[in-house]
Amino acid sequence: MSLREQSNPKLRVRGATKVYPTASGDLVAIDNCNLDIEAGQIVSIVGPSGCGKTTLLWSMSGLHSLSAGEVLIDGKPITGPSSEIGMVFQDANLLPWRNLDANIHFPFEIKHQKPDRDWIARLTHRVGLEGFGERFPRELSGGMQQRAALVRALSFKPSVLLMDEPFGALDAFTREEMNHLVEEIYLDTRTTIVLITHSIDEAIFLSDRVIVMSTRPGRVAKEYAVPFARPRSFEIMATKEVFDLTNAIKLDIVGEQKSKASTATRKLPQAAH
Amino acid sequence: MDSNDAIPEFTKAAPGGDVGVANMSALAAGPGIKSAREVAAIIGVAVVVIGATEFALRWFNVPQYIMPAPSLIAQALVTEFPHILPHLGHTLVELFSGFGIGALIGLVLAAVITQFPFAEKIITPYILLLVTTPMLALVPLLILRFGFGYTPRIIAVALAAGPMVMINAATGFRRVDRGKIALARSYGATTLQIFWKIRAPMALPMILVGLMVGAIFGLLTAVGAEMVGGGFGLGNRLTSYSSMIQMPQFFAVVVILSMLGILIYILFFLIGKKWASWEA
């Protein structure tokens, strides 16, 4: 489904299908999903809620096995969690019984490695969390917690950063700040980033490409290129191009939701798009 | 539990959702005394209450064998203490060994059994039966089998404390936070690492509640078992003093037992504050 013919994308999703067995029968979360993500790109995935975005991301991270299909990183199939991949979860997901330093060192503890203190200090400085190492998560604001989670995910220098609705719980201003921060870090590290979000603004501001997913069973319905130069400022959000892009994406998502509603009333097995 | 076939969803797995016999808030529910004025008020009220009791008992000439005056109890506490001390030692030996054995078995059982939901369902009714049956009922039988020494008492304490620890710890270990386990797995954590670095710390507040309630139950059972039979221990002192109608001495032992209970509470309160305060 890729628009470009790229020979070795960083991440390649091929025919990804995931079926969850539930009490009321099988639930097909994603069905024959295909997607290529080139190295050094930021790609956002948007779509109606419950469309399998998180399932797709978890499959990329190796946390989930697929029922069919595969995900390749640098051409090699992902079979489990890998040091190439850093995850940022919903709601920061810090361990409340550890202070910030211990939270950031957690990946190294699990991997039995010595933390790269210089790199971590640099990241900590970049996100503005210097001097907060002894604090516990409950003492910090949501934005600060998510900054710490960002440092934790990047601490072991993964080449891919997967972000699962990372800023959904933050207020609008903190969210914009975090978006700037992610771009800054991206420009610094050129890490490939896959971002799941509910905010079309966030998707457009950050991404090189925005992928729209269909309703469940999820597959790639459409994709848009976002051709603005970096670093971006929020002024681009007021341009006509962004306005049109936002509308087009919104209409796509609404269209997906409608098609779901109509198939539901007609009791058809699959959503058409 | 493998999250492989679970729908990635966080809302349902909120920590602290279900609560067992006791709740962490019981531990954290200290009155939160802050200022010197509050401390002074508390001591002042205590002085008034004890003073009024003393006065009323003397005013109405209440006989000593019904209720001795607080001053007499305090006096007995001082003069009798050398005689009571060895018995306190015996009770502590029973409490520590019984509680240690029971808590250890309870903890291990809880950690293992929660990994196997089906086995847990089968075993839980028996544990509940052990929690709700007063283990004191078994003491006469244990004495018949093991004599009047430490053994029957330690077994009774272990039987009283162990299931209490187990049922609370199991509640703690069952609090699965899928997001945190996924986090650990994303760094390649093994099942053992997930247990020690995620499940155990998450369970700790409930484990502490179980240990505290278990220790109090253990004290109760130790004293009860001493009252049933055998020639030593604080429970034995209670029956002995009351049979001789030595009420000030009797109440001196009661005061020591209260102190012991309060010490247990304070100990676990402090441990909880140090290691499990993230929960509050």
> What pLDDT, on a 0 to 100 scale, did the predictor assign at position B218?
96
Contact B233, B85 (CB under 8 A): no
Residue A40 CA to its chain's centroid (Å): 14
A138-196 per-position pLDDT tens digit: 999 989 999 999 999 999 999 999 999 999 888 888 999 999 999 999 999 899 999 99
pLDDT band at B29 (very low <50, low <70, confident <90, very high): low
**Averaged over A214-240, what is the pLDDT?**
88
Hey, what are A71's tokens? 């995900």
Chain A residue with minimum CA distance to B180: A93
Of A12-16, A51-55, B69-73, B167-171, which range is least confident? A51-55
Q: Of B239, B71, B279, B1, nearest to A95 (Cα)? A: B279
Pairing of strands A76-77, A68-73: antiparallel
- Contact residues, chain B, for A55 at CB < 8 Å: 7-8
Hey, what are B76's tokens? 């007995």
- Residue B33 has a pLDDT of 64
Tell me which chain B residues have a C-beta less than 8 angstroms from the C-beta of A137: 278
For B183-211, what is the HEC assignment?
HHHHCCCCHHHHHHHHHHHHHHHHHHHHH
Distance from CA of B189 to the nearest CA of A (A): 6
pLDDT grade, residue A264 (50/70/90)? low
Q: What is the pLDDT of residues A60-78, one digit of tens each?
A: 999 888 999 999 999 899 9
Inter-chain touch B187–A90, beta carbons under 8 Å:
no
pLDDT at position A272 over 50: no
Are the Cβ atoms of B187 and A110 closer than 8 angstroms? Answer: yes
DSSP 8-state class, residue A22: E
Q: What is the pLDDT of residue A269?
A: 47
Q: Does B13 touch chain A (CB under 8 A)?
A: no
pLDDT tens, residue by residue, B177-214 = 888 999 999 999 999 999 999 999 999 999 999 999 99
Cross-chain Cβ contact B182/A89 below 8 Å:
yes
Q: Specify the pLDDT at position B4.
A: 63
CB–CB of B7 and A29 under 8 A? yes
Q: What integer is the mean pLDDT of B149-170?
A: 95
ipTM given for this complex: 0.85
pLDDT > 50? residue B14: no
Name the minimum distance, in Å, from the CA of A205 to any CA of chain B: 27
Judged on CB neighbours under 10 Å (0-12, 13-18, 19+), A249 is buried
B28 CB within 8 Å of a chain A CB: no
- Token pair, residue B97, equals 């060994």
Euclidean distance between CA atoms B85 and B66, whole angstroms = 25
Place A25 in a pLDDT band, splitting at 50, 70 and 90.
confident
Is any Cβ of chain A less than 8 angstroms from the Cβ of B255?
Answer: no
Q: Which of A83, A89, A136 sits opposite B179 (nearest CB)?
A: A89
> In whole angstroms, what is the distance from residue A66 CA to residue B68 CA?
77
